[in-house]
Amino acid sequence: MSTGESTIRNEPLQIEDITVIDKAKVKKAVTAAALGNAMEWFDFGVYGFVAYALGKVFFPEASPSVQTIAALATFSVPFLVRPLGGVFFGVMGDKFGRQKVLSATIILMAVSTFCIGLIPSYESIGILAPILLLLCKLAQGFSVGGEYTGAAVFVAEFAPDRRRGFLSSWLDFGSIIGFVSGAGVVVLLSSIVGEAQFLEWGWRIPFFLAAPLGLIGLYLRHAAEETPAFTEQLERMEKEDQDAVGSAPRISFKEIVTKYWRSLLVCVGIVLVTNVTYYMLLTYMPTYLSHNLHYSEDHGVLIIIVVMVGMLFVQPFVGMASDRIGRRPFIAAGSIGLLIAAIPAFHLITSGNTGWIFVGLLLLAVLLNCLIGVMASTLPAMFPTRVRYSALASAFNISVIIAGVTPTLAAWLVETTGDLMMPAYYLMAVALIGLVTAYFMHETASKPMRGDTPNASSRREARELLQEQYDHIEASVDGIDAEINDMQDKLADLERRKQALIDRHPDLV
């Protein structure tokens, strides 16, 4: 049974209190969440890989450098509305359920992405073209505000405790697939139709693909059931207070910040180090290779595609390993790796040798795997069921505002300073944030989600988890007894000191 964090159990924990998750439902939930995430990152991938084309189509009167920065700025601006989407969909998700909200976000994402392909060029409608592009990106930003966090919560609440890292890792596996697919479509189209035709109309086709992908994702999400944790939370509230169900948000954002400030800060730190690295490698690097290092667009994209394919093989193993050794070691390892290896990696990337470029990018990719391999399983476990979606969405999207300007800021820094190492310094700065976060975060691997009773994948595992809970309770009781004894010793010492003082005062004897 899932309970709110503040619920006090007055009866012994029994085997019936542990939820045994049906494997078919878990598979369906992971597939539905990962496909939706793949669609989200398909658009981001396409946008990053065609930024040079969009700059020429929507900002033709600017210089090539300004075109690139303007196109990447259009990518970054929607991150400003992501917190609004996060708060809106987070509250709706905690109120009406995860499955319904995820169906809504994928519809909005598909429609707004499809509409980008319909926008006429600057030559046809003038300044209205970049304005329409910005409006579509804002709609995407609003929907994405509830997409990733909702999908992470959805998978985490379905996953057995001992496999949450492995199963949640498939969520970002989907995002990498989205990037690979987006890049592959761009390379295939540009090679078939040629650069001139691609700039004229070919760039629109990847955005049109959002429609069928959205329909598939909507079907899978509609077919998936609501998570056991949310269903049981709703049933518990119905028993406790019929009037509370369906009412306005049961906890304010101020209360979330006051009660869960530590979890919110840890969440922000993890998201910053992970997403800055993500956007630097998978969104900015194609532009960096083509614009700053003067490789052809196709050459640079092909290198990134090979790197991302390599990431696909690493991702599930990181999630699986985190179930055994914990999430904190991977956050720490990824952060330390970025701090030490960022400059050497960029020296390899700027070497002019294709082999060394690949090695440099692959090094950054493996470090990124350490971070994204555990993020989706770590973040939802920090908050209790009744505020999990809204709290996580708020913290996640506030920090994503900073991470989202990475491509634009990196491009501006390189153009302004002329220093090709600026992206490395950028990564080193966020690596320090990651290290501090790893130090202060609590380990969540193979433990019940905060405020929840355990999830198991079988009846046998449920019995093992129940015994672990009993052992934990016994250890906690022993710890409390030790504290009581220590307090009693301190009280006795205070009484002795008090009596010694009284004995020395004639009026107190």
Give the per-residue SS3 of 421-435: CHHHHHHHHHHHHHH
CA proximity to 217, closest of 352, 38, 63, 364? 38
> Would you say 337 and 370 are in contact if contact means Cβ atoms under 8 Å apart?
yes
Instruction: Please state, in angstroms and rounded to a whole number, the distance separating the CA atoms of residues 185 and 266.
Output: 37
Q: Helices 64-76 and 128-158, interaxial angle, to 10°? A: 40
Residue 415, helix vs strand vs coil: helix
Q: What are the Cα distances from residue 59, in Å, to 6, 64, 128, 392?
A: 54, 9, 11, 36
Instruction: Please state, in angstroms and rounded to a whole number, the distance separating the CA atoms of residues 160 and 169.
Output: 13
Instruction: Please state, in angstroms and rounded to a whole number, the distance separating the CA atoms of residues 175 and 297.
Output: 22
At residue 246, the pLDDT reads 47
CB atoms within 10 A of CB 10: 5
CB atoms within 10 A of CB 387: 26
Provide the 8-state DSSP code for 350: T
In residues, how long is the chain?
Answer: 509
3-state helix, strand, coil in the chain (%, to 5): 80, 0, 15
At residue 168, the pLDDT reads 92
Instruction: Please state, in angstroms and rounded to a whole number, the distance separating the CA atoms of residues 230 and 147.
Output: 17
pLDDT tens by residue, 57-107: 777 766 666 666 666 666 667 777 888 888 888 888 888 888 888 888 888
CA proximity to 102, closest of 45, 40, 47? 40
At residue 397, the pLDDT reads 83
> Would you say 2 and 109 are in contact if contact means Cβ atoms under 8 Å apart?
no
At residue 342, the pLDDT reads 95
> Would you say 322 and 445 are in contact if contact means Cβ atoms under 8 Å apart?
yes
CB atoms within 10 A of CB 418: 9
Q: What are the Cα distances from residue 198, in Å, to 56, 173, 296, 354, 408?
A: 11, 29, 14, 25, 24
CA proximity to 142, closest of 189, 230, 60, 80? 80
Instruction: Please state, in angstroms and rounded to a whole number, the distance separating the CA atoms of residues 492 and 130.
Output: 76
At residue 251, the pLDDT reads 61
> Would you say 48 and 206 are in contact if contact means Cβ atoms under 8 Å apart?
no
Instruction: Please state, in angstroms and rounded to a whole number, the distance separating the CA atoms of residues 422 and 282.
Output: 16
CA proximity to 79, closest of 271, 220, 238? 271
Domain annotation for the chain: domains and CATH numbers? 18-225+260-457 (1.20.1250.20)
Q: Which residues of the chain are under the pLDDT cut of 70?
A: 1-13, 16, 44-45, 48-49, 52, 61-76, 235-252, 297-298, 509
Instruction: Please state, in angstroms and rounded to a whole number, the distance separating the CA atoms of residues 72 and 231.
Output: 41
At residue 247, the pLDDT reads 47
Instruction: Please state, in angstroms and rounded to a whole number, the distance separating the CA atoms of residues 507 and 244.
Output: 61
Instruction: Please state, in angstroms and rounded to a whole number, the distance separating the CA atoms of residues 200 and 121.
Output: 9
**Four-CA torsion 404, 401, 105, 44, nearest 10 degrees:** 0
Can you say how many angstroms the Cα of residue 372 is from the centroid of all Cα atoms in its chain? 8
pTM of the model: 0.78
Instruction: Please state, in angstroms and rounded to a whole number, the distance separating the CA atoms of residues 159 and 150.
Output: 14
Residue appearing with tokens 């993500």: 278
Provide the 8-state DSSP code for 226: P
Residue appearing with tokens 């019940």: 448
Question: Residue 397 has which token pair?
Answer: 């999207």
